[in-house]
Amino acid sequence: MKQYEKNAFVRFFILFLGAFILMFATISVLYYMQEHTRLGKEAALTTQLEYIECMSLGFDTDCNKNKIVKPDMQSVYDSILYAFGILMVMFIPISLFLSLFSIRPVRQASTMIDNFIANIVHDINTPVSTILLNTKSLIKNPKNPDKKLTRILASSKQLGDMQHDLLALADEKSEIEIDEVDLAEITEEIIEDFRLKHSSQPFVYELQEQMVYLNSIDLSRIIQNLISNAIKYNQNSNPIKLYIKDALLVIEDNGKGMNHPEKVFEKNYREDYSIQGNGLGLASVLAMLDRNHIGIEVSSVLGKGTIISLNFKECIKDMKRKEGH
């Protein structure tokens, strides 16, 4: 079940269970009022009978016609609580069933769309690979390549990256190849690539060797997307800081910050529509994080910047388990 399906399921469950509880509360209040009135009348009748009996026995001074007797409601409370417990045992599974039934059309539509995207992306793979290979073969002098061919090659690589991201987004449960890679080495290569593209953007980093066990392409795309976002939202060419410590990769910028950092991984969500993007980059990052067992924590302050921490402890455990076998 995908994240948005889980959210829909939880909302439906709360809605159905809340409706049942509200209905029970309404019936309980009506039952309480009815019982309170009935017991009150019985208490008043009992008081009158006691008064009449007292007068008939000649105890005039000890008889109190206006004696106030409160009805005993304890049995009513017990009955309501008992009924609530019994009905909750029934309401919870019924709410679960109705919630699952309600999101079924959503899941079916989502699966159809994801399968369609996955098929299209797979079909795009061949022409993109062909363009890449042929463009590379046309570049006769790698040290001084033709600018047009360089642009074609860069665009082809960008298409390949987008293809990978879309496939991760559409087919989150697909099997991936796992490699043993050096987190520091891959991160440094990506930083150097961004330095060539964004020469005015300074980077400050401290990367120590950290071997992890995951899909190397996913790792590259995750780091590329996060650094790309840091550059987009950075302010006044402040340096972007990166460091590796205790199986954590931390990316820190001094940018605009975010109003809702908890929403950045939702599909089509964008903090600032004035900045170029389609709202899918970080959604695909979340899919790749999940399937590689990488934890993430995002903290952001408006006007001060954002800190993203990637936790690779599970990837190290996976590597140790592999070595153990």
Q: Say whether both 99 and 133 belong to one domain.
A: no
Residues 104, 121, single domain; the answer is no
Q: Give CA separation, 259 vs 171, 220, 231, 297, 304, in Å.
A: 30, 27, 18, 15, 12
d(CA 251, CA 78): 57
Are residues 73 and 205 part of one domain? no
Same domain, 38 and 124: no
104 shares a domain with 123: no
Query: For the segment 72-116, what is each residue's pLDDT rounded down to a tens digit?
Result: 778 888 888 888 888 888 888 888 888 888 888 877 877 787 777
Instruction: Name 165's Cβ contacts closer than 8 Å, sequence gap at least 6.
Output: 221, 225, 280, 281, 284
The CATH number of whichever domain residue 259 belongs to comes to 3.30.565.10
Q: How confident is the model at residue 65 (pLDDT cuts 50, 70, 90)?
A: low
Alpha helices in 198-301 (DSSP H): 216-233, 281-291
Residue ending a domain, choose from 61, 82, 108: 108
Tens of pLDDT, residue by residue over 15-50, are 988 999 999 999 988 888 888 888 878 777 777 777
Q: Distance between CA 94 and CA 100 in Å, rounded? A: 10
Q: Last residue of a domain, which of 60, 77, 108?
A: 108
Beta-strand relationship, 240-245 and 203-206: parallel
> Higher-confidence residue: 13 or 57?
13
How far apart (Å, rounded) are the C-alpha atoms in residues 311 and 107? 30
- Is residue 7 very low, low, confident or very high in pLDDT (cuts 50, 70, 90)? confident
Per-residue pLDDT tens over the stretch 271-287: 776 666 656 678 888 88
Percent of the chain surpassing pLDDT 70: 86
Q: Which of 61, 77, 108 is the last residue of a domain?
A: 108
Report the predicted TM-score, pTM, of the whole model to 2 decimal places.
0.62
* Residue 312 burial (C-beta neighbours within 10 Å; 0-12, 13-18, 19+): buried
Q: Are residues 232 and 125 in the same domain?
A: no
For position 276, what pLDDT does the model report?
65
Judge if 283 and 208 occupy the same domain.
yes
Work out the end-to-end distance of the chain between its first and last CA atoms, rounded to an integer number of angstroms: 31
Together in a domain, 187 and 320 = yes
Q: How many domains does the chain have?
A: 3
Q: Which domain holds residue 91?
A: 3-108
Residue 172 phi, psi (nearest 5): -65, -30
Mean pLDDT of the chain: 81
Tokens of 111: 């699966």
Q: Where are the alpha helices (DSSP H) in the chain?
A: 3-56, 74-138, 147-170, 183-197, 216-233, 281-291, 313-324
Same domain, 198 and 299: yes
Identify the residue whose tokens are 């910047």.
Answer: 305
Tens-digit pLDDT profile for residues 201-231: 899 999 989 999 999 989 999 999 899 888 8
Shared-domain flag, residues 304 and 186: yes
Closest CA to 230 of 248, 194, 255: 255
Regarding whether 145 and 226 lie in a shared domain, the answer is no
Do 286 and 161 share a domain, yes or no?
no
